[in-house]
Structure 1
Amino acid sequence: MINKGTKLFSQILAIGLGASLLPAHAIEGHAGLDLSLANNVGKVGLYSLRETPTEITNLSSNLLFTSNDDRMIDVMGTLTRKGMLSNNNLELGLKAKLYYLDQNSTGRNSYGLMIGGIARYWLPTSVPTSIAADYLYSPNIVTAGDGQSTMEYGFRAELRILPSAIAYVGYRKILADFGLPGSYKVDGNPHVGVTISFDGY
């Protein structure tokens, strides 16, 4: 375990890194806010997205908090390609996340690099609607602190309700392995959320 001073430093470092990277990335795209709520979990994030006819890049910084006072801070990057497998509605991509997880009840912590992928399919509807799924994993070799590995996966349905806003409903599960019998469940709930672009599109 590490002391509280080191925990605080790690959290400040993660937030500072995300805050410093987002404005630079947003010069060529647009930035926005991502909010979601579940029964015992909340998440707030800032994102910066750039889209071209063939790909989408997204950089975000997020804070997840639970009713048990657990905290997970991350800086995440996503690169998605459009029109995959000869299907104009299908997007496939890669994700990477630097994270810090603080399990409040025992004082354990875990931090490292999660890597994985994302898939999104746009339905042939008059209102832009999609379904998406993603998976991230931090193996032992890139996991530090008290943790041995961390896994996250989820899926959601998205609907553009305004030119500058997308509403979504989904399910997210985050499991952390601290070397104890069974994995610690950080999140395992359905949630609702919205992304709002600061630039109005």
Structure 2
Amino acid sequence: MRERLMAVVCLMGMAPVASGHTLDIYLSQKTAQFNFITDSSAIGFGGADLFFGLFFNEDSDYMLTTGMNVRGVPAGEQPLTFGVGGKLYLGFVDEPDQTFQSLGLGGEVRYTIPANTPMFFALEGYYAPPITSLSNGDGLWDLAVRYELEVTPGAAGFIGYRRVEVDLDKQEDYRLDDRFHFGIRINF
């Protein structure tokens, strides 16, 4: 428990170094995810979202993530938004005692529901093949879907489902997350 608290404090400590921040937190009965998202201009490259994440579950599995995602709206006035990017995963699996590092490529699709209250559906996915997976990892899938509703201009609530599956040397198709969750997104 102390390690979890220290990791969250370190993640929160990164907030003052960048501008245009978002904190995205989700919880389920057995998992938790904390994401800090900022503009990539913090590292001298603007126009993309730079993110850092911490995931853990009740099985004492931990996963750190970082990556960049570029979003854009297609020509015309369409309610769709597309994004592409990469994500680096560093995982620590308790049983079996193994670690993995994976570089995944993927993106997201968002559909904004035309209404007075801003809301949308989002589908996000990343895949890391065996060639970009190191240590005990032989590949990774990270898939998520969510429905988000803006409560105030700076805060939103969401419900969703996420499945994170990694192939390990000692166990194929090890699921770190396979649950429905709820969460909040705060912009500051």
Instruction: State the TM-score bracket (shorter-chain normalisation).
Output: 0.7 to 0.9
1:74 matched to which residue of 2? 65
Q: Distance in 1 between matches of 2:171 and 2:34?
A: 31
Contact (CA 8 Å) 2:26, 2:34: kept in 1 or not?
yes
- TM-score after normalising by structure 2: 0.84
Q: Shift of the alpha carbon at 1:188?
A: 0.4
For residues 33-182 of structure 1, the aligned pairs below 5 Å read 33-49=23-39, 57-82=48-73, 84=74, 86-180=76-170, 182=172
Deviations, residues 3-51 of structure 1 (Å, cap 9, x unaligned): xxxxx9xxx9xx78x976x76652xxx112111001110011211148x
Question: Once superposed, which parts of structure 1, at least 4 consecutive aligned residues long, lie more than 6 Å away?
Answer: none
Deviations, residues 97-144 of structure 1 (Å, cap 9, x unaligned): 111011112211110211102100100111001000011011111100
Q: Shift of the alpha carbon at 1:59?
A: 1.2
Q: Shift of the alpha carbon at 1:58?
A: 1.5
Q: Distance in 1 between matches of 2:143 and 2:161?
A: 8
Contact (CA 8 Å) 1:25, 1:59: kept in 2 or not?
no
Change (3 A) 1:182 1:99: closer
Contact (CA 8 Å) 1:46, 1:60: kept in 2 or not?
yes
Q: Distance in 2 between matches of 1:114 and 1:24?
A: 26
Question: Where does the alignment leave 5 or more consecutive residues of structure 2 unmatched?
Answer: 41-46
Q: Shift of the alpha carbon at 1:87?
A: 4.5
SS of equivalent residue, structure 1 residue 105: coil
2:44 matched to which residue of 1? none
RMSD: 2.5
SS of equivalent residue, structure 2 residue 117: coil
Q: Shift of the alpha carbon at 1:95?
A: 2.4
Change (3 A) 1:78 1:112: same
1:184 matched to which residue of 2? 174
Contact (CA 8 Å) 1:134, 1:155: kept in 2 or not?
yes
SS of equivalent residue, structure 1 residue 148: strand
- TM-score after normalising by structure 1: 0.79
Contact (CA 8 Å) 2:166, 2:172: kept in 1 or not?
no
Deviations, residues 54-93 of structure 1 (Å, cap 9, x unaligned): xx731111100000000000112111111x2644211011
Q: Distance in 1 between matches of 2:86 and 2:182?
A: 23
Q: What letter corresponds to residue 75 of structure 1 in structure 2? A: T
1:53 matched to which residue of 2? none
